[in-house]
Each structure stands twice: as C-alpha cells, then as structure tokens.
Amino acid sequence: MILVVDCGNTNTVFALYSYDKSIKKIACWRIHNNSKRTADSYYPWLSQMLTLSDVKINDITGICIASVVNETLFNIKMFIKKYFKINPLVIDNDILGLGLKVNIDNPEEAGADRLVNSFAIKCLNLSPAIVIDFGTATTFDLVGIDGSYNGGIIAPGVNLSLEALYLAAARLPRVALKPLSNKKSIIGKNTVNAMESGIYWGYVSMIEGLINKIKILDEYKNYKVIATGGLSDLFKKSLCCIDHIEEDLTLIGLVNLYLHNFNNLKK
C-alpha cells in the first residue's frame, strides 16, 4: 500500500491506496494543520486510524508527500523516518526528474499541490484543463495537453473571505457558508443573509467571470473545467462552467507520481 500525504494551509490529508491491478483508495483521514505538532504526536493519531481500517504500518511500502507548509513538512518527514523507516517521495521545489513540466517564469514558485494536480489531470486523461481548487486560496490552474503546468490565478479562499469580513467589520457576525440555490434570494433582508449572499454569489460570479475571461483566449477555449477541493460540491449546482468534479485530485496525483518514480526510489 502507498500512503500519500497532502499538507495544505488548513488541513493535512493522509490517504491509503492499493495498487495491485489498479489504483484504489482504501481510506482517507484529515487532520487540522498545526505546524507545532511534533513527529511523535502524529503517531498515536495515525496508528489509531490505521487500526480502524485494519491496516498495519508494515503494510505500507511507499509514501509520497506534497506540502505548501515547510514547518509541517519537516515534522511529518521526521515522523515517517522514525516510525515507518521509509524514504518518502517529497514533492517540493526540487521537481527535476519527477515527470512534472512547469512552464512559468520561476518554476520554484509553483505550489506543490498545483503541480501534483496537473499531473493528476494528465493521468485521468482530462487534459487540457482549467483546474479550480477550492482550498484556503481559490486557485485556477492551466494544464496543457501534455499535463504541463502553465500558470494560473490565485484568489482568496471562500472561508478566508468570511473570516476577513468578521474580523475587519465590528458589527458583522461570524457566519458559516452554505449553498444558496434560489437566485431570487440574492437580496438579503438581514445582515446574515446579506453576508451569505455576498460571499456565495460573489464567488459564483468571480469564478464564472474568470473562466469566461480565460476562455476568450483562443488557446484555452476548448479546455475542460475541473473542480477540486473541499468546497467544490458546495458550488457545483450554481456553476454551469464546471465540467467535472474530482475531490481527490491531489491524492490521485500523489499516488501516480509515486508509481511513476518508483524505480528511481529503489536506487
């Protein structure tokens, strides 16, 4: 089995995949990202998760990690070294030889998750594509027909915007995001409804507007639009521009990258 780890700004996701005749997800667990969580503190939590899934540590033969938080990556690498005794494949700024093609001014600036998503798009035969990732930031990434990462757009994430409203405006309450299906309710009759409408329909309009602006360009007009990330389901009924939702896009990319580089890891 392969353990893949996606360290994001908000959460770290651990997922187990088997790869006998085909790649299959066995289990998936999410933990809030805390850069001060030590290597030893990961062990009891993950050990319990493995036990609940009837998996032993020795069943894991390979590990692949992508991280956008250096402090978290360091602690997880220490955890793996101590308890798994496996040399993990780490997707970071050193991407040479991993099969990732990056066509931007400074390739080292590209987030590991965005590169992994591009590789996943190629593996799923979905390229060329525009990938919208609903995470801490909302990102739009252009993936070429060959799976290359060709740049993109970074906007504030939905929850980040909600938190900013609450913190910056003294009289505005903290609200939770929820799907709004009735466009007739776009005008809020109270503060909470007005905030919900502003965030939800504001993001719908932003996403549709940016996709339209990208597709005006001839080279991108036939690109499929793929959504991923924890909040992708929240918007799917309101976004006609989305062709496909793949919540596990980063995890799929990680396990495929591991297998793609398996022979090099054994050397």
Please tell me the predicted confidence (pLDDT) of residue 241. Answer: 93
Question: Whole-angstrom Cα distance, residue 110 to residue 152?
Answer: 10
Domain covering 125-245 in this structure, CATH number = 3.30.420.40
Residue 15 near residue 55, CB atoms below 8 Å = no
Alpha-carbon distance of 219 to 230, in angstroms, equals: 29
CA-to-CA separations, 258 to 16, 63, 137, 179, 267, in angstroms, rounded = 13, 8, 26, 36, 14
Q: What is the pLDDT of residue 8?
A: 86
Residue 194 one-letter amino acid: A
Dihedral angle, C-alpha 175, 200, 162, 116, nearest 10 °: 130
Compute the chain's Rg from CA coordinates: 20
Q: Is 113 assigned a catalytic role?
A: yes
Task: Please identify which residue in the block is written with the tokens 């009924």.
Answer: 237
Q: Note the CATH architecture for domain 2-92.
A: 2-Layer Sandwich (3.30)
Sequence-distant (≥ 6) Cβ neighbours of residue 236 within 8 angstroms: 227, 242, 245
| Extents of the domains making up the chain | 2-92, 125-245
Residue 85 CB burial class (10 angstroms; 0-12, 13-18, ≥19): exposed
The reported pLDDT for the residue numbered 79 is: 92
Peptide bond into 156 cis (omega under 30): no
pLDDT confidence of residue 174? 79
Return d(Cα 166, Cα 61) in angstroms, integer.
Answer: 45
* Backbone conformation region of residue 48, classed left if phi is above 0, alpha if psi is from -120 to 50, else beta: alpha
Annotated catalytic residue, options 20, 54, 59, 113:
113
Size of the chain in residues: 267
Per the structure block, which two tokens stand in for 125? 């035969």
Angstrom distance (rounded) from CA 67 to CA 74: 10
Q: Provide the pLDDT for residue 109.
A: 83
Same CATH topology for 2-92 and 125-245: the answer is: yes
Could you list the pLDDT tens digit for every one of the 267 residues in the chain? 999 999 988 889 999 999 887 899 999 999 998 888 888 999 999 999 999 999 999 999 999 999 888 888 899 999 999 999 888 998 865 565 567 788 999 888 888 889 999 999 999 999 999 999 998 889 999 999 999 999 999 998 888 888 887 777 767 777 877 777 666 678 888 888 888 888 889 999 999 999 999 999 999 999 999 999 878 888 888 899 999 999 999 999 999 999 988 755 555
